[in-house]
Chain A
């Protein structure tokens, strides 16, 4: 049998497409056959993006794909080629600065990746070559090399296990770094090579392996039993020999590594929208100015007065071309309304800001000794924008630490810690169970619990003499199983461990029973059950199966169901996870057949999964139901409070779970997602299957619900939020199969219809529970909501591998560093240890970041709206730093207040601060101030002299005055907006003003030899010697700040008035202060808009 299986691997003659042939040790199989070296990729892992050579061109290319950078490049080129009023340096320098900073940041990140790659690639491995151990670097491994791996080492590539130091050729492996499951998995060597345990013998092996072409599916099969994956770690085995089959980028790990697609935040999209609006303004402005110029020039003495003649070249230029260059010049002149330094400041703000999340002590969890993890810094502000929260149930809402609560054997309920001391007298206290089932059935049930699992016993390093069974540590990929095994232990049956293929169980009489483990039919989420086939000491072959009720009930005799079903449903109502246990005896002849089928399926190279499933399906039939178990899934700490807070913050919480409806529903009640007065609308197989034609029934239900909801809520959306607080709350429950019925309905015309009705219903419900979801369906739902009208921001939170798809799909993905492995947190944007941390993450951090970035952006668009032409450089130095500090440190509301009053979150939802209203406000403010500055100074210059000695000032003084006012106003305005003055704010704001003054003195104090024109020479100092100018500056600063001050006063007055209303009406009127402005083009701009 094994011979045959190996032959399948070794079927080296024909080289089929979809398979590859590997020669073990790179020796030809037979002497006659010429050895053809095949080309496989080497064992280098490359996760980095750039090399030293292509960094510059590639990085530059990528940076200029950004619309803003491209725009500035164009401006720069115009300035270089066309005669323009401003020197190319003014736009070239900031652009250069921005590009350099970004390049350095990306280069650094790539260097880190290079380093990480090198660490892996240069690690030493031992390869068997010519009967000798040769030390090599990991990247030198070729396909076909025989690799020696020692205990606690990581496999350098995907290996086929040839032999291990143990006689039976097994080895233990943990795949913690691949999928987070920390239990040891057993892998088996290929039967034919088990004996080859020395260097010499293994080198003499002549064989060829035929295997599938590299595939990425990590979960499809964590290897047939003898494939060891790169990244996994060898445990509890001294050393193994294996032959490399997949190397480098073809290993499963590398194939699974995928660059996450860049998520962009709504704020960034708003920025782009603003950018385009400003671009439009710019073009209009330039066009108007060009027209005006030519109108003005139409009088000849304006065009070319005698004192200012044109050069010959200028005169000869073609008129249209000249107009065009004039237009371009104006564009360049006004290009400062689009802030070049904004992008870099925004990037820096995000980058530095994300540290505050990972630094937050409140996210620290003692248990796993870790705090929050930030995988991307681009989405900080998005946390303050979330509309929909999709959460996984298991491990996210709940602890995923299971406790065995009760069981039911043949309809008899066993509860509490039973003193199952058979034969001995009952201990005092209330009877642990009400009545007992048949003794044999009871033992069978408990044995089933002990046998039907994949739990590993971690060998304790116990000193001899201590009883083995006293302290056993169980490890499993599923906590349910541990709970069950522990539960069985309470009743007297202890699982001791697996030895040489025998499962050992200590029964109530302290005897060890041994069962030969013949087959394990692993759990998967489609079958929703697992089985083991064991052989008892007496030679009977038994199959034990456990699984969800829906998966087990159809496969057992009908009459057994009723008794247990009551219990199962009752338990499910209480929020327990229930599993049903069934068994069947297999006759020896039958077993032969079953065994053959199973092995065939396992060895299949193609469609292995389908074949296995088919075989499993055949085996798990006609079983007898013995009982059911109930396991409590504890809610996470403060899960309910968090959900309530999120609700209060106006978020819609959807629970997407793979669990069955009853369990999920009870969890939802427990965590207060559904209130007791919530009316539930159910769209499940149960409600639908009553009718003959599912689709008709579905249609009927959908329309009925819609009617109901539409009647309840008036059409206008504005009162929707209010309506929630006053009207009946609705919750929707839908399960996977119904959902797929809705989404993939056969008639395409109908499906669209269903879909829209379904969405309408969903939108009107406060809470939605989707149960029995496949991972892909979770993502489907998220995508569906994401594409709703108004494209709400979605957030997904989950902990398991099954949540990855939805985490990747949603705008913000949050991973829980939970027990179901690291898969989720690796793929998420943020990872926190517990669900409760979501509250602070969203309400405090999200809120603050949003407000900060919104201010930052507005400030940037506001700041340079004047023609600050020759002083752009100042812009970067003087006014960027304060806003950066502000945007990092501002806490306009105390963090504690934020977390305790979730309603505040609502105020910023819907991108409220980057809407048309505030945008116009800032723009007009800027225009107003620009006017004030210019005309203020203009009128000042009407006089003969501003000085006490009668000397005159020129145009450069004029510019400097305006600019000084500008710098002061802008900085002071920021100071007015700052509500949280730390010493850093003080330093930066006052410091930058001081620096401005100092710099101006310095810049004007020396004749700079490298400058062609000494325009600024002594201007600033001379300017300050005039009292009039001082007075003007003070006056104008005050005038331009007064609207802001007025706004503050009016706002505080208005707030008082709303508060007084509030106290009278006692209604939640703060909701009505939510801006009713419609989003300004915001998210209608797709991602393409900033990629060329």
Chain B
């Protein structure tokens, strides 16, 4: 890059004081800062310096893009851990009224917030004069279908596949942000005085039999509470762990999905889906990133070439760095 380090030489010292002048001179300080002469690096962005950038970007982006694209496309093959998602569409979890409708204090186990939830939870704040725990529209609308996966054996018998419930939420959410109300009593005691959300079948302390996955720290619940950015979204439901390295996690064959249908989506013209996916180092399958990288890299490279040609046409006229406005 054509840069010149331009340290303008400072004039050494100030001017000599007028002879015998003890009088304070009002001459401004002759410092580099005040005279706007600070040493400065003056990069001159000309075609010569920017063009290589385009080339380099192009050269870097295209391989990365190809790498990503290939990785992303390989995800199809079900090896390694398999992740089970449920997907909803046309569900506006990002609606502003919806997003606000929760009380993080209550979810963090604050006893006062438990019995007196935040106003933001309206109209899901109280039911029959009892505070709702967990309050708010998000919690109230928690996804409550049950999905079970079976492998259809040779004799058409169903072999259930172990679906791991834990490990699907952010670690920090599970351990810091969400907490049950304090105490050593059984959970039911600790939630005493509250009532279940209107749409729920069971109260919050009966979400799971495992003490470590019950109440507010139920991971299905935590995942639901992380509101999605877009109306069509997926949420992690279960993990299918790989048992050993020799067999694929889900070998080819017939499978049977059993859905306990609770969750209504027709009223808002929604769809439900179940997705099984493996994950690479860069996440789930998404051709976007790879394609984008390849495209941008190519465009950048192409631009570089075009500009180089244009630039070359005028090269002869002048070589010096120029003043730019």
Q: Does A1039 contact B (CB under 8 A)?
A: yes
Q: Does A889 contact B (CB under 8 A)?
A: yes
Q: Does A776 contact B (CB under 8 A)?
A: no
**B63 / chain A contacts, CB cutoff of 8 Å:** none
**A1060–B318 CB distance below 8 A:** yes
- Interface-located stretch among A186-194, A301-309, A392-400, A553-561: A301-309
CB distance from A119 to the nearest CB of B (A): 19
Closest residue of chain A to B29 (Cβ to Cβ) is: A359
CA distance in complex: A1027, B227 (Å):
22
Given A951-B168, A979-B42, A979-B324, A1049–B50 Cβ distance below 8 Å?
Answer: yes
**A312 / chain B contacts, CB cutoff of 8 Å:** 123
Q: Does A1053 contact B (CB under 8 A)?
A: yes
CA distance in complex: A14, B168 (Å):
102
Q: Does A203 contact B (CB under 8 A)?
A: no
Given A955-B93, A1059-B318, A1052–B28 Cβ distance below 8 Å?
Answer: no
Q: Does A575 contact B (CB under 8 A)?
A: no
Closest residue of chain B to A896 (Cβ to Cβ) is: B8
From the candidates A947, A955, A1055, name the one contacting B94 in the complex (CB within 8 A): A955
**B275 / chain A contacts, CB cutoff of 8 Å:** 944
CA distance in complex: A980, B230 (Å):
43
Which residues of A306-340 have CB atoms within 8 Å of chain B's CB atoms? 306-312
Q: Does B298 contact A (CB under 8 A)?
A: no
**B235–A981 CB distance below 8 A:** no
Q: Does B269 contact A (CB under 8 A)?
A: yes
CB distance from B115 to the nearest CB of A (A): 16
**A897–B54 CB distance below 8 A:** no
Given A359-B28, A361-B27, A955-B94, A950–B239 Cβ distance below 8 Å?
Answer: yes
CA distance in complex: A1068, B100 (Å):
64
Provide the B129-160 mask, 1 if CB < 8 A to any CB of A, else 0.
Answer: 00000000100110000000000000000000
**B30 / chain A contacts, CB cutoff of 8 Å:** 361
Chain A interface SS verdict (over half): helix
Q: Does B25 contact A (CB under 8 A)?
A: yes
CB distance from B169 to the nearest CB of A (A): 7
CA distance in complex: A44, B277 (Å):
85
Provide the A909-948 mask, 1 if CB < 8 A to any CB of B, else 0.
Answer: 0000000000000000000000000001011111111111
CA distance in complex: A85, B120 (Å):
12
Given A1014-B108, A1052-B47, A360–B35 Cβ distance below 8 Å?
Answer: yes
**A945–B236 CB distance below 8 A:** yes
Provide the B284-304 mask, 1 if CB < 8 A to any CB of A, else 0.
Answer: 111011001100100010010
From the candidates B25, B236, B267, name the one contacting A952 in the complex (CB within 8 A): B236
**B289–A1031 CB distance below 8 A:** yes
**B235 / chain A contacts, CB cutoff of 8 Å:** 952
Q: Does A1032 contact B (CB under 8 A)?
A: yes
CA distance in complex: A947, B83 (Å):
12
CB distance from A922 to the nearest CB of B (A): 16
Provide the A998-1019 mask, 1 if CB < 8 A to any CB of B, else 0.
Answer: 0000000001000111100110
**B43–A981 CB distance below 8 A:** yes
Closest residue of chain B to A313 (Cβ to Cβ) is: B122
CA distance in complex: A941, B94 (Å):
14
Which residues of B200-235 have CB atoms within 8 Å of chain A's CB atoms? 223, 226-230, 233-235
Which residues of B78-100 have CB atoms within 8 Å of chain A's CB atoms? 81, 83, 85, 91-100
Q: Does A1051 contact B (CB under 8 A)?
A: yes
From the candidates B25, B91, B104, name the one contacting A1013 in the complex (CB within 8 A): B104
From the candidates B61, B227, B264, B289, name the one contacting A1028 in the complex (CB within 8 A): B289
Given A889-B38, A1017-B172, A305–B268 Cβ distance below 8 Å?
Answer: yes
**A356 / chain B contacts, CB cutoff of 8 Å:** 34, 36
**B46–A983 CB distance below 8 A:** no
Given A1018-B170, A1053-B310, A952–B226 Cβ distance below 8 Å?
Answer: yes
Q: Does A1081 contact B (CB under 8 A)?
A: no
**B314 / chain A contacts, CB cutoff of 8 Å:** 1053, 1056-1057, 1060
Q: Does A51 contact B (CB under 8 A)?
A: no
**A1052–B68 CB distance below 8 A:** no
CB distance from A77 to the nearest CB of B (A): 20
CA distance in complex: A1039, B293 (Å):
10
Given A312-B123, A371-B27, A1014–B170 Cβ distance below 8 Å?
Answer: no
Which of A301, A364, A1007, A1056 is most buried by chain B, counting CB atoms within 10 A of its CB?
A1056
Which of A305, A359, A942, A1022 is most buried by chain B, counting CB atoms within 10 A of its CB?
A305
CB distance from A1083 to the nearest CB of B (A): 22
Q: Does A233 contact B (CB under 8 A)?
A: no
Q: Does B51 contact A (CB under 8 A)?
A: yes
From the candidates B51, B92, B317, name the one contacting A305 in the complex (CB within 8 A): B92
CA distance in complex: A954, B23 (Å):
69
From the candidates B38, B44, B170, name the one contacting A983 in the complex (CB within 8 A): B38
Given A1031-B289, A1048-B50, A1055-B322, A1013–B100 Cβ distance below 8 Å?
Answer: yes
CA distance in complex: A984, B39 (Å):
10
Given A944-B285, A1049-B50, A307–B140 Cβ distance below 8 Å?
Answer: yes
Given A85-B96, A305-B268, A1038–B57 Cβ distance below 8 Å?
Answer: yes
**A1045 / chain B contacts, CB cutoff of 8 Å:** 45, 50, 53-54
Given A954-B228, A979-B44, A1045-B54, A308–B38 Cβ distance below 8 Å?
Answer: no
**A955–B137 CB distance below 8 A:** no
Given A305-B267, A1059-B317, A361–B104 Cβ distance below 8 Å?
Answer: no
**B229 / chain A contacts, CB cutoff of 8 Å:** 941, 953-955, 957-959
Closest residue of chain B to A844 (Cβ to Cβ) is: B36
Given A301-B267, A358-B28, A893–B323 Cβ distance below 8 Å?
Answer: yes
CA distance in complex: A984, B33 (Å):
10
Given A889-B36, A952-B223, A1028-B289, A945–B324 Cβ distance below 8 Å?
Answer: no
Q: Does A1026 contact B (CB under 8 A)?
A: yes
Given A356-B34, A369-B27, A981–B41 Cβ distance below 8 Å?
Answer: yes
Which of A309, A356, A904, A984 is most buried by chain B, counting CB atoms within 10 A of its CB?
A309
**A944–B234 CB distance below 8 A:** yes
**A1052–B46 CB distance below 8 A:** yes
Provide the A811-846 mask, 1 if CB < 8 A to any CB of B, else 0.
Answer: 000000000000000000000000000000000000
Q: Does A67 contact B (CB under 8 A)?
A: no
Identify 12 new A-B residue pairs, CB closer than 8 A, beyond the known A979-B324, A1011-B104, A1018-B176. Answer: A299-B269, A307-B91, A891-B36, A940-B289, A946-B283, A950-B83, A1018-B173, A1018-B177, A1028-B283, A1038-B296, A1052-B322, A1059-B322
16 pairs, A vs B, C-beta closer than 8 Å = A308-B97, A360-B28, A364-B27, A370-B26, A371-B26, A371-B27, A889-B36, A952-B228, A981-B40, A1014-B104, A1014-B177, A1042-B303, A1045-B54, A1053-B47, A1055-B322, A1059-B322
Which 10 residue pairs spanning A and B have beta carbons closest together?
A307-B141, A943-B286, A944-B284, A958-B229, A1060-B317, A359-B34, A950-B83, A955-B229, A1056-B314, A301-B268
